[in-house]
Chain A
Amino acid sequence: MIRKSGCRFSEKIMLKQRDRAMDLSIRNVRKEFDRFAALDDVSLDIRSGELIALLGPSGSGKTTLLRLIAGLDHPTGGQIFFGGEDASVKTVQERNIGFVFQSYALFRHMNVLDNIGFGLSVRRGADRMAKAEIARRATELLDLVQLSGLERRYPHQLSGGQRQRVALARAMAIEPSVLLLDEPFGALDAKVRRDLRSWLREIHDATGHTTVFVTHDQDEALELADRVVVMNEGRIEQIGTADDVYDTPNSPFVFGFIGESSSLPIHVEAGQLWFEDRPLGLPAGDAPDGKALLYFRPQEVKLLDGCGGCIAGTVAAGRRVAGTRRLELEVGGHRERVEIEVPASHPAAARSRIAFRPEKWRLFGTPGEAAPSEKVRRISGWPAAVQAGEGSSAARR
């Protein structure tokens, strides 16, 4: 299995890679497939040596963006810069990237060593390398990915996790300027995933590659990446550290996609938030009067006894989640459902009434306010996040 030992990484590999790490700049990139915009005006700057996660649901364009960076596809519009150089016109071979495919794409008729050495063995002209040198380097990389001893194995004789590591070693063999990974752990079981996750972080820290990986797993993205790029429907919703995207999501989508969330349609009037005809006891700040959506996390609520400014609801369902209890409440005349978290010991009986107030929340414009064709997150005149609030109590960090 995987030994956690960063010290085994060859100094030589580390130094070589650090010199080559490169910053990336993606400017106003657009990609259409049969007139369907898979990516729409995407701009992103990636610093040298950074570990970036492209996170989004399927169809959000994250893999498309990765393939555009690699040069496996070409943008319909916009530019991609490697260092200061415009890479848009370069072929995939010229870009010198290391790409790890979701399916690994190991060459099935080559053994592990030949797979890793492939990128070096196809070099021609001045870059041509001697066979012994290629083998030496491949062995070194095999050691880096902790698979020494499996040199002569064929891909079908390896486990999923081992194939993944061979694929990574193969990509690193060409000393790429950028390492790109497409759902690197997608096909692995949960245990191996977790192991490989921390292992990848170690390799990244040791080799210093500029690394971009695609994932739909928020835990993976938040845990592993320096910065997370949250994508939805071909656009970047938010770029930020794990703390940024979790604590201050800038759109309903990010709020809903990362972590758990509940939302409630409310309205703003006289500097107060109102749910139907009740005040919530939350200040509206500078949010304009009118309809809005209140977002909060189930675990960031405070239960109240009386209800002078609160959200009150009837318990519709409850379930035990690890150390806590999740309650589904029906609130208001339209029986809107929201989820809150209470201590496991809470005696929440079905149909009993519970009152609470979010301790942290964010307000977003409602879709109804905007032109019908526009999405929630593009409310005209509204900033993406109108108002974020924090309760006066312990929620402050």
Chain B
Amino acid sequence: MVIDQPFSAAGAQTPPPRSAVTEGRATRVALTVIALLFLAVFLVLPLVIVFLQAFANGVGAYFAALTEPDAVAAIQLTLLVAAIAVPLNLAFGVAAAWAVAKFEFKGKAFLTTLIDLPFSVSPVISGLVYVLLFGSQSLLGPWLAAHGVQILFAVPGIVLATIFVTFPFVARELIPLMEEQGTADEEAALSLGASGWQTFLRVTLPNVKWGLLYGVLLCNARAMGEFGAVSVVSGHIRGLTNTMPLQVEILYNEYNFAGAFAVASLLALLALVTLIIKTILEFRYGDALSGSTGH
């Protein structure tokens, strides 16, 4: 706690008592200013510029850019990809977290590391993996072509790449939470006669709901915003395989700044909304966690 005490009257030899972990006023001000400046230059300013640029040609141009067919297609595709990737990763994340946190098995540490892999691999590599796997030069390529299955440069490829990139979010969020909570609650539910499914729905899931929501939110933000991996597998076909980030890039490269920033502003808005919900969740979820400690 910071205790600011005015210096006592003349003759005060000793400085006022100060908490051992508190810095002097000057240091505090300097640190705060540096942090704020940094935030302003690197985070707030770019965000402001995105919106300024988006509305540079007026509100009419802004909405025109957003309702342009290619932009609409990009928005729809992005929503579709997220709608597929997020629930799949939700299911996977819960299953993986459940397995890692509640059971002991060989190769557990390896699985945990593997879950982190998409975080440590460059998204471009993630995309390339799918090109190597399903491309025409690959082993599967000719077979897929023969059966008329189009994965690369089509929606399935984009979905796969997105799933790969966003796959750690939910699991990473849940594993520490579930590990901390242990298995006593589940055992208690089982001993009271609940089935495995009832235990999961009524005990495990409610115990991790805030963490889960938080993970889904981050997963969704990344799924919609992913550029690198999707860029490699999408083929950049306008109106067909362009997601919003790809659309932004194309428009930008064509010097259509207002259009690029209009689409970009949607992504920025998504980020802001995510941040706000995340903050609210952290508030709630931090509370729920602190309320549960000491059990």
Contact = CB atoms under 8 A, between A and B. Distances in A.
Contacts of A72: 187, 190-191
B27 to A, nearest CB: 38
Contacts of B14: none
B191 A99 contact: yes
A253 B203 CA distance: 42
A122 B195 contact: yes
A93 B294 contact: no
B191 A97 contact: yes
B189 A156 contact: no
B28 interface: no
Nearest to B292: A108
B198 interface: yes
A330 to B, nearest CB: 47
Contact of B187 (A105, A107, A108): A105
B193 A108 contact: no
Contacts of B203: 107
B179 interface: no
Contact of B185 (A105, A119, A154, A163): A105
Contacts of B294: 156
Contact of B194 (A70, A104, A118, A156): A118
B45 interface: no
Contact of B193 (A96, A105, A106, A107): A96
Contacts of A106: 188, 295
A321 B190 CA distance: 47
B142 interface: no
A174 B295 contact: no
B194 A122 contact: yes
Contacts of B295: 103-106, 108, 155-156, 163
Interface in B229-249: none
B190 A92 contact: yes
Interface in B192-237: 192-195, 198, 202-203, 206-207, 209
B291 A156 contact: yes
B193 A174 contact: yes
Contacts of A96: 193
A145 B166 CA distance: 49
B184 interface: yes
A96 to B, nearest CB: 7
Contacts of A119: 192-194
Contact of A107 (B185, B209, B288, B291): B185
Interface residues of B, number: 23
A189 B192 CA distance: 28
Interface in A79-137: 92-93, 96-99, 101, 103-109, 118-119, 122-124
A170 B191 CA distance: 11
Contact of A101 (B184, B207, B209, B292): B184
Contacts of A101: 184, 187-188
B198 A122 contact: yes
B281 to A, nearest CB: 15
A93 to B, nearest CB: 5
A108 B207 CA distance: 7
Contacts of A107: 185, 188-189, 202-203, 206-207
Contacts of A92: 187, 190-191
B280 to A, nearest CB: 18
A173 B194 CA distance: 13
A109 B184 contact: no
Contact of A109 (B182, B189, B195, B207): B207
Contacts of B194: 93, 118-119, 122
Contacts of A124: 195
A245 to B, nearest CB: 29
Interface centre among B182, B185, B188 (most CB of A within 10 A): B188
Given A105-B184, A107-B203, A170 B192 contact: yes
A154 B295 CA distance: 12
Contacts of B187: 72, 92, 99, 101, 105
A222 B110 CA distance: 48
Nearest to A106: B295
Interface centre among A107, A154, A173, A174 (most CB of B within 10 A): A107
Interface string A33-76: 00000000000000000000000000000000000001110000
Interface in B249-295: 288, 291-292, 294-295
A106 B203 CA distance: 10
A71 B193 CA distance: 12
A170 B193 CA distance: 12
Nearest to A121: B202
A103 B180 CA distance: 13
A364 B32 CA distance: 73
Interface in A222-266: none
A192 B203 CA distance: 29
Interface string A193-210: 000000000000000000
Contacts of A71: 191
Contacts of A163: 295
A123 B193 contact: yes
Contacts of B190: 72, 92-93
A105 B188 CA distance: 7
- Which 5 A-B pairs have CB atoms at the shortest separation, nearest pair first? A119-B192, A105-B184, A105-B188, A156-B291, A122-B194
25 contacts: A71-B191, A72-B190, A72-B191, A92-B187, A92-B191, A93-B191, A96-B193, A97-B191, A101-B187, A103-B182, A103-B295, A105-B184, A105-B185, A105-B188, A107-B203, A108-B291, A108-B295, A109-B209, A118-B192, A118-B194, A118-B202, A119-B194, A122-B193, A155-B295, A171-B191
Interface of A: 70-72, 92-93, 96-99, 101, 103-109, 118-119, 122-124, 154-156, 163, 170-171, 173-174
